[in-house]
Amino acid sequence: MADKFSPALIVVDLQEDFCPPNGSLAVPEGRETVAVVNQMLALPRFVLRIATKDWHPQDHISFASNHPGKQPFVDFATVTNPLNPDEPSYRTRLWPDHCVQNTPGAELVPDLQVKGLDKIIEKGTNKDVEMYSAFYDPFTNPRVSDSGLVGLLKEHKVTHVYVVGLAADYCVRCTALDALSEGFETYIVEEGTRAVDAGAWPTEREQLVAAGVHIVHLGGPEVARLSQ
């Protein structure tokens, strides 16, 4: 029997606040991904096309504004599992306020072909935890938030996950790593993403490849098979 190929597309956080010229956390060239993402959305082979929205309450732990004296981009905060203070805490980078629920900055970019989407998943809604991944937060003992994405992919018997959107070095990266650990063959289409720190991307890219994520390109065979 031929190997199963049942691919899903995950479009990560293609929202106004992550795009120039006006986004509060604009990723350099972030808006250039939209045409590529629309091209991916139009490919016939996907069994599921999902978009995520970063969707924070105003008091979210990742906003520097909620930590007196701390500066976005440069400072960090400690995150502790709100359900288990004994689970090891971790340091998380602080950001400008972004993607606040029901604000214009949290909207998907207007040029995105949303009619091609099967579902939109909101993440980062718990004020006490950072959630870069489209699947769940980084805590495991116990997990604090689960978006339901694994369940959805398994329901549709998805085998391969293609990830695009923003930002390559944060939410795209974490989503790809979780997809991999859930057992999916995982691809990042590089033209369809951009990094917050473009200078650090080549190193992070290598780490993703070492972990088993396939970083692929529009003209390559991994994308071509989505047309057949």
Residues forming the active site: 13, 123, 171
Q: d(Cα 98, Cα 73) in Å, to the nearest integer?
A: 12
Q: d(Cα 101, Cα 69) in Å, to the nearest integer?
A: 24
Residues numbered 7-36 forming contacts with ligand VGL, rule: CB under 6 A: 13
Specify the residue, 41 or 106, whose C-beta has the smaller distance to Zn ion: 106
**Residue 17 sits in the site that holds Zn ion (CB under 5 A):** no
Which of these, 218, 214, 169, lies nearest to 28 by C-alpha position? 169
Smallest separation (angstroms) from ligand VGL to the CB of 89: 18
33 makes contact, choosing from Zn ion, ligand VGL, none, with CB < 5 to 8 Å by partner type, with: none
Per-residue x/- mask for Zn ion, residues 23 to 62, rule CB under 5 A?
-------------------------------x--------
Residues numbered 48-77 forming contacts with ligand VGL, rule: CB under 6 A: 54, 62
Specify the residue, 13 or 16, whose C-beta has the smaller distance to ligand VGL: 13
Residue from 19, 167, 195, 216 binding ligand VGL (CB under 6 A): 167
Backbone φ, ψ for residue 223 (5° rounding): -90, -35
Which of these, 136, 144, 139, lies nearest to 178 by C-alpha position? 136
Residues numbered 86-115 forming contacts with ligand VGL, rule: CB under 6 A: 95
Smallest separation (angstroms) from ligand VGL to the CB of 191: 17
Residue from 63, 170, 184, 187 binding ligand VGL (CB under 6 A): 170
Q: Locate 34 and state its tokens.
A: 């939209």
Q: Which stretch binds ligand VGL (CB under 6 A): 106-114, 151-159, 162-170, 208-216?
A: 162-170
Residues binding ligand VGL (CB under 6 A): 13, 54, 62, 95, 132, 166-167, 170-171
